Amino acid sequence: MTSQNDTQRQAAPGGFADLENRWFSAWEQAGCFSRSQGRGQQAAHPFTVVIPPPNITGVLHMGHALNDTIQDACVRRARMQGRPARWVLGTDHAGIATQTKVDKKLADEGVSRLAIGREAFIDECWKWRAQYGSTIVSQIKGMGCSCDYDDERFTLDEQYARAVRQVFADWYHDGLIYRGKRIVNWCPHCTTAIADDEAEYVEESGHLWHLRYPLAEPVDGRDYIVVATTRPETMLGDTGVAVSPSDEEKAALVGKSVVLPLVNRTIPIFSDWHVDAGFGTGFVKVTPAHDPNDWAMGERNGLERINVFDETAHVVEGYGRFSGMSRDEARQAIVEEFDRLGLLDKVEDHQHSVMTCYRCHTKLEPWESEQWFVAVEDLKARAAQVVEDGQIVFHPERWKTVYLDWLANLKDWCISRQLWWGHRIPMYYCDSCGYSDALVDHADVCPTCGEPLRQEEDVLDTWFSSQLWPFATMDWTERGASSPELQRAYPTQVLSTARDIMGLWVARMVMSSLYCTGQIPFQHVIIHPTVMGADGKPMSKSRGNGVDPLRLMEDYGADGMRFGLLMQVTGGQDLRFNEAKLESSRNFANKIRNAARFVGMHLDGFEPGAPEPITLADQWIMSRLARLVAQLDRLYEGFEFGEATRELYAFFWNEFCDWYIELSKSRLEPDADPADRLACQRNLMFVLDQAIRLLHPIMPFVTEEIYHDLPFDRSAFPLLIEAPWPDAQRLAGFVDSQAERAIELVCEAVSAVRSTRARYGISPREPLAVVVKASQDDCALLERQRSMISSMQNALSLELSPAAQKPAQAAAVLGSGIEVYIGLAGLVDFEAERARLQKERAKFEAEAQKLGRKLSNEGYLAKAAPQIIEKDRGRHADALDRIERIDAQLSEL
């Protein structure tokens, strides 16, 4: 649907793209997406959101679709409120991901990165970015997102890159960045370090090998100990054996030594509280260079650290026939050798988690390596404080605890990556005189001796550069904290993001912003739900349960997808994607069009003017509108988008369309009273105008179209995107609780009669006897609307009484504080109706049993496509619901 560099969706016959492209172009050409000037008192309150920069390797997925809808709704509403609004757009260079893509491209061409060299490879990366990097931005445009496209940023742009170098140099000179040897998560395929948070854990069925290590000298007649390990290949680097201090049986062995098999190395037995006496044999082999826990034990106990693998996880020289073997080959050969020597005690099956690279899915190797680190202790203390004291608020609130727990457990951050694509670490060395320093500007000559300088080969972790995103995109590089944009618009108001980068990105933005600007980067953090597949599992290609947002926009329109996604948000719970909700949203968009078309068709003689609630129905709809605006303001302030969509849906479809328009039809007839007709027209236009403004942040295209189709006064605001948001305070005078209760009672009484007619197949032309039992006050309200009720439900008679009794052969419908009885004598053949219902019940009972057997079949559930299973579950639930409703009717009969 979208070409690589196409900025608009392709229009299909009868599709949505034509309308969407037309209005998007209109907004763009009018400059609506740049920071607005604002108006009124709100002009002093800028509203800024920074987009979580998508990778240039990325394409739009359902998480993006939900998150971008949330951000756009916030920004569009703020713009309509008169706040100077801007949604900062940009993309991330995505170090590992992009390098992997370009590596593959070159390999397909028969070329390798190493063969062409660093500079040529970086040129290839820039070419790749030029060709593919704008794909996701084009797709974001297709959603209607009102980002500032004229000021798009990129994390490798020169101004941004300078900010990265500046922060590195500042932190280095402040002692917050250092170089050292520590255990890192190493990817042997990508040949780079990986952050702890970027490792993915995979359950694996493995083994627990019990290996005999001979004692250097017998102890109480004992010649060996048995260690249990899941990684026998690392035993080549063992430099100790640990036991628990609480294990009294092994106390006599502490201080003794074993002779490490195969390498003939004498290593000590020591005690350490890290050891679990109940795991395996209670003896733990310690390989400080290949396990973070072992590394810590080695540091506490002065053990030697020996790296037995190279950067591709092959055994290094010095280990005889094992040298040159891969990890897996070494494991097999070492176990076989232990078995041959009679030192393999036993092997047990063992289920455990292994870390894999989040990009290539290779098993990571805990590997001691010299890397660059950020000392986080002081930085994380301040980042925790601003959340604890409420300067930054999380939504939902429970994520505050998750954030603080992550910070509490944060260790020094490995920021170096052994890649070529990215921000090259700005450390410079002179091999002649030993000079070294972190420099913001590139230098070729040593300032001390004049000899050539050499720059660090490694690049920075992508998250190091992206942590600067909120302020580096606001000209901090040039002017620091005195940047006009920072002075005007910092901190930003809202960050909406996924939970899986709360530590990787959110916390680090807080740390760096506090250091660099002295301010928090944002006031509110929305952790949006994760969009799961219809089967309730995370969406993935391997599961086949993913959904393409581009296809959804083709089928349901961008408005339908946006509204339907938010409709499925319930609190902070992950949402199980239900495509039927999008169909409902598309129907809702059609309902909005049809309502606007009805109003437009009944504007003969219309003269613009203020709304005038003359009738009870007018007073009711104005009151409901006033309450809706106030409620939506509360929901937006609390970032409860799912509830906001449901409130909008209920008001527009149920109250405005189903009832107010229905109650207005007779007043719009050509022979109606002219004054009342004009008042009705003005009220309809006013409510419709206010409603489409409320709907616009979520459904921008259909609402903009209606705004231009109807005779609204657009002289001050030619486009709906900039029109004022409804004012809850100005509308508060329309609130009328008595009118609301009166119409609520009318609606319940009329609905009870209509549903009874539908249930029993009674013609609307057939007059019915209706009895309503309600409180004295409600009866009084209904009495004043007797003519309205009678005309709307074709009532033969209408009895209203607090003491009313259910007549014989009458249907009963319960409402909110009322009971409605509808006489059926002489209208329904009860025996025939009972027989019909029993026959219908049998049909649905058979269907429910059939589907129930199908859905309890594990084989079917394992093989069938998730969408088919979900459809069957829906049919099963529907059959059970029909049975329940038929049982209720049979009981009534």
pLDDT at 1: 33
Task: Flag whether 541 is marked binding.
Answer: yes
DSSP string, 846-869: HHHHHHHHHHT-HHHHHHS-HHHH
The pLDDT score that the predictor gives to residue 827 is 79
Segment 226-236, tens digit of pLDDT: 999 999 999 99
Torsion of CA 537, 542, 547, 550, to 10 degrees: 150
**What backbone phi and psi angles, to 5 degrees, belong to 438?**
-90, 125
CA distance 618 to 612: 8
With contact defined as beta carbons under 8 Å apart, do 184 and 122 qualify? no
Rounded distance between C-alpha atoms, residue 564 and residue 651, angstroms: 16
Q: Which pLDDT does position 3 carry in this prediction?
A: 37
Distance of alpha carbon 601 from alpha carbon 205, whole angstroms: 69
- Please tell me the distance from the alpha carbon of residue 615 to that of residue 626, in angstroms, as a whole number: 17
Taking alpha carbons only, the member of 566, 628, 592, 630 closest to residue 69 is: 566
Minimal CA–CA distance to 57: which of 134, 141, 160, 111? Answer: 134
Q: What angle do CA 600, 594, 875 make, to 5 degrees?
A: 170
Q: How far apart are alpha carbons 89 and 162 in whole angstroms?
A: 19
For 758, the token pair is 């539908």
In terms of Cα–Cα distance, which of 516, 495, 529 is closest to 387? 495
Let me know the angle formed at the C-alpha of 636 by 494 and 385, rounded to the nearest 5 degrees.
Answer: 40
pLDDT digits (tens, 9 = 90+) for 337-356: 999 999 999 999 888 788 88
Long-range pairs for 148-153: beta carbons < 8 A, 24 or more residues apart: 148/33, 148/34, 148/35, 148/86, 148/87, 148/88, 148/89, 149/28, 149/33, 149/89, 150/33, 150/34, 151/34, 151/88, 151/89, 152/89, 152/90, 152/91, 153/53, 153/88, 153/89, 153/90, 153/91, 153/473
Report yes or no: 893 and 833 within 8 Å, Cβ to Cβ.
yes
- Write down the mean pLDDT value for the chain: 90
Q: What is the DSSP string of 728-774?
A: HHHHGGG--HHHHHHHHHHHHHHHHHHHHHHHHT--TTS-EEEEEE-
Radius of gyration of the chain (CA): 35
From CA 81, how far away is CA 726, in angstroms rounded?
8
Asked if 291 and 366 count as a contact pair (C-beta separation under 8 A), the reply is yes
- Cα distances (Å, whole numbers) of residue 819 to 777, 789, 814: 14, 15, 5
Here the tokens at position 652 are 């527009």
488 token code pair: 């005007």
d(Cα 512, Cα 491) in Å, to the nearest integer? 13
For residue 799 the two structure tokens come to 């009895």
Is 395 strand, coil or helix?
Answer: strand
Cα-Cα end-to-end distance for the chain: 56
Distance CA 538, CA 548 (A): 14
**Predicted local confidence at residue 844, as pLDDT:** 85
How many CB atoms sit inside 10 A of residue 808's CB? 8
For the whole model, what pTM was predicted? 0.84
- Angle value at C-alpha 455, between 172 and 305, nearest 5 degrees: 70
pLDDT at 637 (0 to 100): 96
- Asked if 771 contacts 655 with a C-beta cutoff of 8 angstroms, the reply is no
Tokens 């600007």, residue located: 517
- CA dist 416 and 424 (Å) reads 9
Specify whether the CB–CB gap between 186 and 366 falls below 8 A.
yes
Residues 6+ apart with CB under 8 A from 48: 35, 85, 86, 87, 88, 489, 490, 492, 493
DSSP assignments along 680-739, one per residue: HHHHHHHHHHHHHHHHTTTSHHHHHHHHHHS----SS-SSGGGSPPP-HHHHGGG--HHH
pLDDT one-digit tens code per residue, 532-552: 888 888 887 667 778 899 999
**C-alpha span between 662 and 676 (Å, rounded):** 16
Our CA angle for 620, 622, 625, nearest 5°, is 110
Say if strands 531-532 and 575-576 run parallel, antiparallel, or are unpaired. parallel
Do β-strands 413-414 and 531-532 pair in parallel, antiparallel, or remain unpaired? unpaired
Angle at 321 between CA 316 and CA 324, to 5 degrees: 35
CA distance 682 to 668: 11
Picking from 780, 778, 687, the residue whose alpha carbon sits closest to that of residue 741 is: 778
pLDDT under 70: residue ranges of the chain: 1-15, 197, 541-542, 829-830, 833, 837, 867, 889, 892-893
Q: What is the pLDDT of residue 205?
A: 86
Cα(642)–Cα(648) distance, integer angstroms: 10
Beta partners for residue 350, in sequence order: 206
Scan for tokens 């997808």, then name that residue. Answer: 561
Which residue in the block uniquely carries the two structure tokens 């199908």? 854
